[in-house]
Structure 1
Amino acid sequence: MKLKRSGRMVDLTTYLLQHPHQLIPLSYFVERYQSAKSSISEDLAIIKENFEYQGIGSIITVAGAAGGVKYIPSVSEAEAKEIIEELTGMLEDPDRLLPGGYLYLTDIIGNPNLVNQVGRLFSSVFSHQKIDAVMTVATKGIPLAYAVASQLNVPVVIVRSNSRVTEGSTVSINYVSGSTKRIQTMALARRSIKKDANVLIIDDFMKAGGTIRGMISLIKEFQAEVAGIGVLVEAQDGAERLVDDYVSLTRLASVNEKEQRIEVEEGNYFIQKEKR
């Protein structure tokens, strides 16, 4: 399609935003817009400068016959603080308090806009690592995992408490819940993860980390690697933590069930992002 430059710039920007972490040959844009490669390169340079100025990502160029351009999403520190502060405020609502110190998260996880923002936050931390898949455990972690995976342009792998005939043969393991100390089971289809794959674990809530520890063990059964761990909320209740290296957006600092009071603070997101 032949467009004026203004229209071409808008379409090019939209296309890049919709195809993160995907290497796109310049020849594709040359044919798409019926324009010279030099014109496309000038457009990309302007978009790159604008993306970096706004803190929404960068555009990298890969040289060579198999090269092209790739959009890498990111989130500025100011925007990240704004999102995490919004989450913190929502989580401190006393109506969220559930027995055992857990929080009601369904409305947050069911909010598409907020979940997409969370996906951008996690993908920003792990954007420069090789990620082949995002793993989560059914069911509440699924929306978060898809939001992260869409930003990283990788598939989602869902771990379940039991095998399903529709998934073919599965690998099952037993693990000990960190909070209840009970032995539980999780299963994953054999076709889900390839050998040597780099898997990012995403979960909605981490108390002691038993479930995440189980997913780590499951990944090892596939002879794959854990690329990182991201959690929406981590609890700080004095229980022995079974997982050390993770990224959390928020931390449940204290819960007073008698007074119906919840204190939530910023997680280790900015500390972990600085390290990477």
Structure 2
Amino acid sequence: MQRTDRLIRLTQILLERPGHPVSLAHLAEAWGVAKSTLSEDVASIRRTLLEAGKGTVETLVGVQGGVRYHADVPTAEREGFLADLAKRLSGPERVLPGGFVYMSDVLGNPYVLDAVGRMFSTQFWSKRVNVVVTVETKGITLATATARHLDVPIAIVRRDQRVTEGAAISTHYVSGSNRRIQTMSLGKRAMPADARALIVDDFMRAGATARAVVDLLKEFAAEVVGTAVFMATSQPAEKMVDNYFSLLRVHEVSAQGADVQPASFADNS
């Protein structure tokens, strides 16, 4: 196999499954090349990705040896992407009763979901997340995209306990939007041992739902390493959860439209 072909195929393998370990020993055997040759190829790919701001390739220490790709989004690309989303979500046609912003069509776009998943994974990669947790139903697509880039499973908290989930643990909480007592449950088999969970959702106002998920995960002895949301309101400034990260902030909603802005890192707690 020519070097150009190897570089293309190896890059494709890394990009198609970010966060997943790739054994150079196995590839060397399958492709009939020396492992040291593949290591040189990896060095070239690593350098190219770093220069482009697209992420990095980590070398894994072990008997088999290997590498894995951590995705990133260049600063200029991220800023342009979020500015475009903020503009799209600010129109008066987006305003829903109760001061909500309609964004289902935006979060139904696979490109948007993949980009958001990359940004969330970049923010929390160092936290050693081993499961992404979300509440049905709107957060599922965002959580799935994030879990793909972190190469971890997803656990879905249900509003109603389902027979197909097996034995589950349930909790009651007061909804922040309508002040009603609601129930959520999570199957006991959904969480890995020694879980380090990242909560992912589409929207946060006061953080009551996220707080309820945190409390539910305590029943699993899980450690919540953070909460990632697509959009959060600027008020109330103090949320019911710590260590949350949002990509967009909505500052005001009126009949004339919503004031949606990209969230700076200083905005996040």
Stretches of structure 1 that go unaligned for 5 or more consecutive residues are none
* 1:84 CA displacement: 1.0
Q: Which runs of 4+ in 1 moved over 4 A?
A: none
Partner of 2:41: 43
Q: Output the CA distance in 2 between the equivalents of 1:232 and 1:139.
A: 14
Partner of 1:75: 73
Whichever residue aligns with residue 125 of structure 1, its letter is: Q
Q: Tell me how many residue pairs correspond in the alignment.
A: 269
Q: Residues 41 and 67 from structure 1, CA distance in 2 versus in 1: closer, same or farther, beyond 3 angstroms?
A: closer
Whichever residue aligns with residue 258 of structure 2, its letter is: I
* 1:272 CA displacement: 7.7
Kept in 2, the 8 Å contact 1:176–1:184? The answer is: yes
* 1:152 CA displacement: 0.4
Higher mean C-alpha deviation, range 66-75 or range 12-21: 66-75
SS state at 2:197 partner = strand
Q: Output the CA distance in 2 between the equivalents of 1:4 and 1:129.
A: 39
Partner of 2:149: 151
Partner of 1:165: 163
Partner of 1:263: 259
Stretches of structure 2 that go unaligned for 5 or more consecutive residues are none
SS state at 1:250 partner = strand
Kept in 1, the 8 Å contact 2:54–2:72? The answer is: yes
SS state at 2:199 partner = strand
CA offsets per residue over residues 192-248 of structure 1, 9 Å max, x none? 113420000000010111110111011111111101110001012447621232000
Higher mean C-alpha deviation, range 238-247 or range 28-37: 238-247
RMSD of the TM alignment (CA)? 1.7
CA offsets per residue over residues 63-90 of structure 1, 9 Å max, x none? 3314321211112222211121121111
Identify which of 109, 116, 121 aligns with 2:107. 109
Q: Residues 239 and 15 from structure 1, CA distance in 2 versus in 1: closer, same or farther, beyond 3 angstroms?
A: closer
Q: Residues 196 and 272 from structure 1, CA distance in 2 versus in 1: closer, same or farther, beyond 3 angstroms?
A: farther
SS state at 1:106 partner = coil
Partner of 1:201: 199
Q: Output the CA distance in 1 between the equivalents of 2:153 and 2:139.
A: 14
Whichever residue aligns with residue 140 of structure 2, its letter is: I
How do 1:1-276 and structure 2 match up within 5 A?
3-238=1-236, 241-257=239-255, 260-268=256-264, 270-271=265-266
The alignment-based identity, stated in percent, is 43
Whichever residue aligns with residue 4 of structure 2, its letter is: S
CA offsets per residue over residues 151-194 of structure 1, 9 Å max, x none? 00011111111111111111100011223322111011110113
Q: Output the CA distance in 1 between the equivalents of 2:238 and 2:129.
A: 29
CA offsets per residue over residues 139-161 of structure 1, 9 Å max, x none? 11011000000000011111111
Whichever residue aligns with residue 79 of structure 1, its letter is: E
Whichever residue aligns with residue 83 of structure 2, its letter is: E
Kept in 2, the 8 Å contact 1:178–1:242? The answer is: no
Kept in 2, the 8 Å contact 1:179–1:239? The answer is: no
Q: Output the CA distance in 1 between the equivalents of 2:59 and 2:36.
A: 14
TM-score (norm 1): 0.93
Q: Residues 120 and 239 from structure 1, CA distance in 2 versus in 1: closer, same or farther, beyond 3 angstroms?
A: closer
